[in-house]
């Protein structure tokens, strides 16, 4: 009796396999699209890291003269200017690397799946 139910379960699995292959064929273009999106985000992060100004200020409190009153608005950077430290810029390079790695893995998985789906 157990053998009969086991065989029927195996037959059900064999019937589902072509449907699964068809679904994977439909998902391959989406996986490639995700790879392109990841490479676009990688490029955006890399370009941002190249164009942002690095803060080269001396570490420590800024010199403050008691005679001159400085408004807090003068201490803020100008509109549109972003100054980051060297370690913060390095974070953008790391993010670009991670996006590139994920995008490359998406393309690699799509390539391997396409190769196996063509053979079947």
Walking along the chain (120 residues) 10 residues at a time, the average pLDDT comes out as 59 64 88 96 91 63 56 56 68 92 95 84
Helical ranges in 1-85 per DSSP H: 2-51, 72-75
pTM of the complete model beyond 0.75:
no
Domain coverage including residue 93: 27-54+82-120
| The predicted structure's pLDDT at residue 34 | 96
Residue 19 lies in a domain: no
Q: Which element (helix H / strand E) includes 91?
A: helix 86-119
Residue 37 lies in a domain: yes
| The predicted structure's pLDDT at residue 118 | 79
Residue 119 lies in a domain: yes
Residue 34 lies in a domain: yes
| The predicted structure's pLDDT at residue 57 | 53
Residue 8 lies in a domain: no
Structural domain total, the chain: 1
Residue 88 lies in a domain: yes
| The predicted structure's pLDDT at residue 89 | 74
Residue 21 lies in a domain: no
Q: Which element (helix H / strand E) includes 54?
A: strand 53-54
Pull the structure tokens for residue 75. Answer: 């201490």
| The predicted structure's pLDDT at residue 61 | 57
């Amino acid at each position: 009796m157990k053998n009969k139910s086991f065989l029927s379960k195996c037959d059900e699995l064999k019937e589902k396999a072509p449907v699964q292959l068809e679904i994977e064929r439909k998902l391959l273009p989406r996986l490639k699209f995700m790879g392109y999106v990841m490479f676009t985000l990688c490029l955006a992060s890399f370009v941002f890291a190249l164009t942002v100004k690095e803060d080269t200020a001396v570490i420590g409190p800024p010199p403050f003269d008691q005679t001159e009153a400085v408004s807090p608005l003068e201490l803020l950077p100008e509109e549109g200017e972003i100054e980051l430290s060297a370690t913060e810029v390095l974070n953008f390079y790391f993010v670009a690397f991670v996006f590139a790695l994920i995008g490359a893995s998406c393309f690699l998985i799509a390539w391997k799946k396409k190769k196996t789906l063509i053979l079947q």
